[in-house]
Amino acid sequence: MILALVVFASQANAEVILSIGSGTFAADSGLQTINIFARSTTGESTDFLVADFRIEAGTLGTPAGTFGGAGFIGAGNLQGTSSFLRDAGDSRVGNLSLDFTALQPLPTADGLLATLSINTAGLAAGTYSIVGENFATLAGINTVNNGSFSIITAVPEPTSMALLGIAAGGLAVRRVWNKRRKVS
C-alpha cells in the first residue's frame, strides 16, 4: 500500500501601497504640502523605495518634499543617498528615492512616508490631480492611490458682509443728510 501525502503550498503576494493625500488651499496661498503614506498588506520589508510624482498644475517646491524626520517611515534608517528632488526638466515632476540602511518593515496601516511640497501661487480655482508613477520596492506588487488638491477662492464670512452692508448704509444715510442740508 502506498500512502501519498500531497502538500499544497500557497504563496502570499505582498503588496506595497502608496497613497497620496489630498488638500484644499486658498487661491495664491503659495507653498503647500500634501502627505504621502505607505503600507504593506503583509508587513513587507524593503531596503529601497522609489517613486515619481506628477502634479497637474503648479510646480513642486525645491526640494520636492520632506522625508525621514521623526514620525516618518524610515526615520533614523536612511542612507545619505536618499532624496526627494524636483525634476530638472519638468518642475511638475518630483522623484522620491529612499535607500534604507537595512530592511525596513512597512506598517500594515498607512504610515507617513513623506510630504510633497507644491507651489500653488497663481492657480485658478479648481481641483488638480497628483499622480504617482514608477513606484518600486522589493515587493512583487506595488500600487499607487493618486491624490488631488483643490484651490478655492476666498468667500467672505457673513460677519464681514454684514459690516460692509452697515458701512454702505451709513454712507447712503450721510449722503441723504448732506443733500437735505444743501437744499435748506
pLDDT at 140: 82
pLDDT at 136: 94
- Residues 23 and 149 sit within 8 Å (Cβ to Cβ): yes
Name the pLDDT band for 93 (thresholds 50, 70, 90). very high
Q: Which whole number is the average pLDDT over 46-56? A: 96
pLDDT tens-digit readout, 128-183: 999 999 999 988 899 999 999 999 986 556 665 666 667 666 666 677 667 677 76
Summary mean pLDDT of the chain: 86
How many residues does the structure list for the chain? 184
pLDDT at 14: 76
> Which CATH architecture fits 15-153?
Sandwich (2.60)
